[in-house]
Structure 1
Amino acid sequence: MTNVYSFDGILIFGLLFVCTCAYLKKVPKLKNWLLSEKKGIWGVFYKAAVIGTRLHVVVALSCVVTGFYVLFIK
């Protein structure tokens, strides 16, 4: 189990947040509701979705490497 207060936990949380926001950007009803604001506290979701969409190869490779690390090394 990875806790959020370790460096590993922060990286895993960040990757999951970016992946989730990028997925929610593809759902039409949720895109209008959650990702409509580009500034403020709701803008974090929009910015994470943009990062996940534009850097999808890097994010996917990071998820695979992190999963391998958590399952086999840690």
Structure 2
Amino acid sequence: MTNVYSFDGMIVFGLLLICTCAYLKKIPRLKQWMFSEKKGVWGVFYKAAVIGTRLHIGVAISCVLSAVYILVLK
């Protein structure tokens, strides 16, 4: 189990946030409601969704590498 306060826990949390926001951006009603603001707290979700959609190959590789690290090496 990863700890949120460790470095690898923060990496996993960030990757999960990016993947979740990119997935939720594909839902039309949530896109209007959740990703319309580009500043403030909701802006973090918007920026995470943009990172997830533009860098989807890099994010997917990072997810696989972090999963291998947590399951095998740790």
Pair in the same fold by TM > 0.5: yes
2:34 matched residue in structure 1: 34
1:23-71: per-residue Cα shift (whole Å, max 9, x none)? 0111111111111101111100000000000000000000000011111
1:4 matched residue in structure 2: 4
Identity between Structure 1 and Structure 2 (%): 72
1:55 matched residue in structure 2: 55
RMSD: 0.6
Matches of 1:5 and 1:46, distance apart in 2? 24
Matches of 1:7 and 1:60, distance apart in 2? 19
Structure 2: stretches of 5+ with no match in the other structure: none
TM-score (norm 1): 0.97
Read off the aligned partner of 2:15 and give its amino acid letter: L
Q: How does 1:11-30 map to 2 (within 5 A)?
A: 11-30=11-30
Matches of 2:45 and 2:37, distance apart in 1? 9
Structure 1: stretches of 5+ with no match in the other structure: none
